Structure 1
Amino acid sequence: MPRIKKPLTVKELNALPDGRHAVGGVRGLTVEKKAGKITGYRLRYFKGGTERATTYLGTYTLSEVRKKAADDLALYESGTSPQEERAKAKAERAAKEREAEKRAKNARMTFLYCAKEYISLYAQTISRSTNKARLVALNKHLAPTIGAKPIDTITVQDIAAALSSIWTLKPNAAQKAYTLAHQVFNYAIAKKLTTLQSNPADLKGPLGVLLKPLARPPKQHYPSLPFELIQAFIRDLLETPSASAHALFFAILTGSRNSEVRLAEWKEFDLDKGIWTIPEEHQKTKDKGFERNRTKVLSAQAVDFLKHLPKIGPLVFIKRQDMGMNTPLTDMAMTEVIEALHEKKKARDGLGWIDPNSINRKTGEPRRITVHGFRASFRTWVEAQEWPNYSKAQEAAEAILLHEKKDNLNGAYRRYDHEADQREVAQAWADYCLKGIDLSDYSPWRRCEYDKTKARA
């Protein structure tokens, strides 16, 4: 074991010749000089008379070097080494950095962040109205309560708190918010954006226990116009020549959904055969493992109406000509027509266009009719009529509404398409809707408010 030399001063160190020299003060501490300058210090550790290790200490001040050398020597004497301790400290720092990064990531990985990523990723696979409904559910009902919380920290109780206030008062909105939350958590788990292993937004689990005691009122159907008043409504509608009114008229005549009419393109129609083939993406119901019927037959009046509409672009009904030929009506366009007609009628009779059998739970007043409700008007009318073959007429009505069930089981055997029956029912409905009404009396309607001289090539 080397002898501990008398500690040299800085002046004495500077006076030493080039080479390696003992510094003194700490056993094994040496200084290296070259060209009259100190190039560094080293600690040489001896055990059993043999040099076991050496540590480069750098070029700190002499007092700092002696302290560092003493600390390193103590580590050697304890059975470890400075290198091992430095490696351990480095690993600990790296672990702390990873943990800090994870905490920062978790802080960024909020429910709102995951929800926006999910909605954006799947926006192209759903209709615009459904995508809009998701955003409303997120921004209005979920984001204010759980949006800013890291998704890892959200509990079943948090979700229950977000939904409980609307669970009974706004059951439709609550259902949409719940569905979105359920989908977002499933997405986050699948994409490993969370450490959660089970979905907390699941009514089959603890969430159901918390929400089930909250009594929900029965679901209300869309308000519909009693079919006995359909002709009076159409007379009012004919006094409103606009693209939105024309779309509503066509929807009533064909028993179609809002999106099917708004997004209809000329290429979908075979007017010679009186056939309308609706693309899947324009419909509410998507195919799930089986091919659904998407063909509707058209009455003579529906065909004649389409033939009198100018073709100024791919869409049958456009928002406004100055907004471009490819701009469809908004999902509220036909509803706004009904609202306007309702207010005019209400000013006349104090009622407006209402469904007397549908009551607003908040106000106790009858609810205003809706676009979708005309499908119920049609279906109720079919049930109320006497048909040569009543059961076939009912099945034809379901086919006109595109309600018929075809799945892998039934679709394999039920191949009768009811086209002849559909034509009979569709034509009878159109005749009933326009009974006593001559469209030629409504020249503004025939012109459909389009200026053909401005039609674009």
Structure 2
Amino acid sequence: MPKKARELSALEVKRSSRELGFHAVGGVAGLHLAVTSDSAASWILRVVIGENRADLGLGSYPEIGLAQARDRAREAREQIRGGIDPRQAKKAAALALRAATARALTFEAAAKACHIAKVSEFRNSKHKDDWINSLDRYAFPDLGSVPVAEIDLPHLVKVLGPIWTSKTETATRVRQRIESVLAWATVNKFRTGDNPARWKGNLEHALPKPAKVRKVAHHPALLWQEVGGFMADLRKREGMGARALEFAILTAARSGEVRGATWDEIDLKAKLWTIPAGRMKAGKQHRIPLSEPALKLLKALPRFDGSPYVFAAARGGMLSDMSLSAVTRRMGLDVVPHGFRSSFKDWCRTSTAYPDEVSELALAHVNSDATRAAYARDELLPQRQRLMTDWAKYCTTVPRTAAQVVVPIRRAKSR
């Protein structure tokens, strides 16, 4: 019969914790203090489970005191006597705790965690904010407090249905973002099963196809025939907003690209403006050939000490997104800066012989096979240089009205 260990006191256990090795502490058969270094000790219960010997870990010392260790040892032995393996019981308890945590994790909490995990994917801070703000506005009111493990198709229909036909583009993006959140939750073991936000074979049977209900919103634009007269008036206006709008028209660039332009993107000698991928809508670097009027405008601009921006605001920061729109409003026109890209495209189609892919590349549209092929070659820079020169020349031409055309009297009589 094995020798029964003497029951040590708490003080004796403390002294034993300074000596390497296994120390039987008594009180419960098989209970030991395992000291593996000067600063590491843990409780081990040596038992027989079935026909196999096993060492059960009961926690570290001194976080778990002597009395608590003996209680845990007695509980483990009671489980073994009842036919329960304490190791399996511990795993089951851990799984139950994780399941309870999953049930407690709300969609809003999962969305914010997913947003943090995806932070490196966003091109800029605006896109990062738009991602979570769209969920905050459209998804959180109905889904925010719902456990992420319980979200199903009816939840998605409730969120997306009211905006699917009236704000189709926004609703499509919200759906995609909800799908990302639920995919994150599945990968991280907070939910199981199919993703109810998936479109193919799922939501496509509950909601109409976006292409069937999407309403294309056209930006108010000036007729291309009126651009020359508008530019003549614009050049008389003072202020950085007016110069930024003039430059945006000459380059056919988006207002955000112009407002964020920095001097290190401009190569005056090469007559080239290179916009990095991170500032482009399509996420691809875009090069814009600069015409002589565009270069002249840049060279005349004041430079602010310490500001990197080409079109800097009063204190050296970036112009606000309303600065360019304010110019057109003051001029009494119901158009937006983005609309001049449409004016440029209409002029290209109706008044030039340039292939369509040249103007598409000028606008940084890279959706078609033709434009992708062009990007693979040389971005058609020589052709685009001529196009932008012709466009700038057109922008400085004010078409004469019939009243301005003077016909000599003699020539009129001779007809």
Please tell me the TM-score bracket, short chain as reference.
Answer: 0.5 to 0.7
**Residue deviations 1:242-289 (CA, integer Å, cap 9, x gap):** 3333222211110012332122111111112211111111111124xx
Alignment partner, residue 302 of structure 2: 310
Aligned partner of 1:183: which letter?
A: S
Mark the structure with the bigger radius of gyration. 1
Change (3 A) 1:178 1:244: farther
Alignment partner, residue 80 of structure 2: 84
Contact kept in structure 1, 2:252 and 2:363, CA below 8 Å: yes
SS in 2 for 1:276: strand
Cα distance in 2 for residues equivalent to 1:155 and 1:114: 15
Cα distance in 2 for residues equivalent to 1:280 and 1:308: 27
Contact kept in structure 2, 1:186 and 1:199, CA below 8 Å: yes
**Shift in Å at residue 209 of structure 1?**
0.7
Contact kept in structure 1, 2:114 and 2:181, CA below 8 Å: yes
Alignment partner, residue 318 of structure 2: 328
Cα distance in 2 for residues equivalent to 1:225 and 1:412: 29
Equivalent of 2:108, from 109, 112, 118? 112
Change (3 A) 1:259 1:197: farther
**Residue deviations 1:339-368 (CA, integer Å, cap 9, x gap):** x33xx62xxxxxx41xxxxxxxxxxxxxxx
Cα distance in 1 for residues equivalent to 2:111 and 2:346: 41
Alignment of 1:201-350 (within 5 A): 201-212=197-208, 216-235=213-232, 237-238=234-235, 241-287=238-284, 294-312=286-304, 313-321=307-315, 325=316, 327-338=317-328, 340-341=329-330, 345=332
Contact kept in structure 1, 2:79 and 2:85, CA below 8 Å: no
Cα distance in 2 for residues equivalent to 1:86 and 1:336: 81
- Identity among equivalent pairs (%): 28
Cα distance in 2 for residues equivalent to 1:120 and 1:180: 13
Contact kept in structure 2, 1:129 and 1:331, CA below 8 Å: no
**Shift in Å at residue 182 of structure 1?**
2.1
SS in 1 for 2:213: coil
Cα distance in 1 for residues equivalent to 2:376 and 2:87: 69
Change (3 A) 1:213 1:273: closer
**Shift in Å at residue 192 of structure 1?**
1.5
Structure 2 residue 342 is the aligned partner of structure 1 residue 376: yes
Aligned partner of 1:267: which letter?
A: D
Contact kept in structure 2, 1:110 and 1:147, CA below 8 Å: yes
Name stretches of at least 5 consecutive residues in structure 2 with no aligned partner. 1-26, 28-73, 400-415
| Aligned positions, number | 324
- What's the TM-score, normalizing by structure 1? 0.61
Contact kept in structure 1, 2:282 and 2:366, CA below 8 Å: no
Structure 2 residue 143 is the aligned partner of structure 1 residue 171: no
- What's the TM-score, normalizing by structure 2? 0.67
Name stretches of at least 5 consecutive residues in structure 1 with no aligned partner. 1-39, 41-71, 73-80, 346-351, 354-368, 438-457
Cα distance in 2 for residues equivalent to 1:186 and 1:314: 40
SS in 2 for 1:211: coil
**Shift in Å at residue 166 of structure 1?**
0.3
Alignment partner, residue 396 of structure 1: 358
**Residue deviations 1:283-333 (CA, integer Å, cap 9, x gap):** 11124xxxx6x2211111100000011222222122331xxx4x3234444
Contact kept in structure 2, 1:318 and 1:329, CA below 8 Å: yes
